[in-house]
Amino acid sequence: MTRAVVFFDLDGTLFQDDKTVSPATRAALKQLVANGNEPVIATGRDLWEIKDLMSSTGITNAIAGNGATIVAHGDIVERQYINPELTRAISMQCAADGLVAAWYNEEGTVLSGLDDLSRANYEDVRQTLPPVQPDYYRKARATRMLIFVPNNAAGRAITDRYRALFPQISFYHDSPYDIDLIETRLSKESGVNSLLGRAEFRGATSYAFGDGDNDLPMARAVDHVVAMANASPEFKAAAEFITRSNMDGGIEFGLHHYNLI
């Protein structure tokens, strides 16, 4: 029987600031598994963005796209998409407002256009700029979307307006360059519940390591919540334990705190 299931956010948590996993953290993950536990990547990123990471770390479980794609022991067990009519409505509103949008699914990304914010975003996450197809929304099967707006008062005003226009969507402003959109029925919480409901994980003690507001739904679904020292005030307030930062061995320190390694 699995002793514990441990969910790890990526950016600002499992990742260092350069988007790599430190050798010490990789060793801790290996020991975590050797001790009879199951690590799970829980991220807003989609499956194609984390496949290499899963392969290199040996992690075989994932909640991708903020709950849209669920992977258990290497197999995709759930795939869910934003309602196509809703994708089209949001995309057309973005076009009317002169905003660049991105459509994501488990295979890749397509942009409606390019601007300084979208370029800065893909430079920040160290990814090649996706292709541009302005009318892709007509056929998109999107697990999630991005809208490129700044993380300032103007950007937050846009977020508030879109939240009012599209109440079926959850909006996460965890980047300096964009807001992340996913249907409200999906979240890291729904992904955690899906995995913990599987027979092989049922009854295990659950932990979540995170740093951002899009990790708050995950915090509601686990037994123990661990915030990185670099976490948002809101996530720290939801945490049972605050570990060190993502740049100071926070994963290893937190796992030691709970005697998981």
Whether pLDDT at 246 is above 80: yes
Evaluate if residue 1 carries a pLDDT over 70: no
Query: Within 13 Å of residue 88, how many CA atoms lie on the same side as its CB?
Result: 5
pLDDT at 173: 82
What does each C-alpha distance from 257 to 115, 165, 216, 235 come to in angstroms?
A: 44, 44, 21, 19
| Distance in angstroms (rounded) separating the CA atoms of residues 226 and 259 | 14
> What Rg do the C-alpha atoms of the chain give, in angstroms?
18
Domain boundaries, the chain: 4-80+186-257, 84-183
179-190 average pLDDT score: 92
Backbone φ, ψ for residue 68 (5° rounding): -75, -35
E strand intervals along the chain: 4-8, 38-42, 62-64, 69-72, 75-79, 101-105, 108-111, 144-147, 169-172, 179-183, 205-210, 224-227, 241-242
Closest CA to 146 of 114, 170, 179, 113: 179
The reply to whether 4-80+186-257 and 84-183 are identical in fold is no
Q: What is the assigned CATH class of domain 84-183?
A: alpha beta
Q: Is the Cα torsion angle 101, 105, 109, 112 positive or negative in sign?
A: negative
Q: Are 8 and 260 in contact (CB under 8 A)?
A: no
Give the model confidence (pLDDT) of 81-117 as tens digits: 999 999 999 999 999 999 999 999 878 999 999 999 9
pLDDT at residue 50 in the model: 94
Q: What is the pLDDT of residue 82?
A: 93
Q: Exposed, middle or buried, 253 (CB in 10 Å: 0-12/13-18/19+)? A: middle
Note the pLDDT of residue 25. 97
* Residue-wise pLDDT tens digits, 12-63: 999 999 999 999 999 999 999 999 999 999 998 899 999 999 999 999 999 9
Mean pLDDT of 108-130: 95
pTM: 0.83
The domain made up of 4-80+186-257 has a fold known as Rossmann fold (3.40.50)
Residue position matching structure tokens 């302005």? 134
Please spell the DSSP secondary structure of 78-121, one letter per residue: EE----HHHHHHHHHHHHHHT--EEEEETTEEEES---HHHHHH
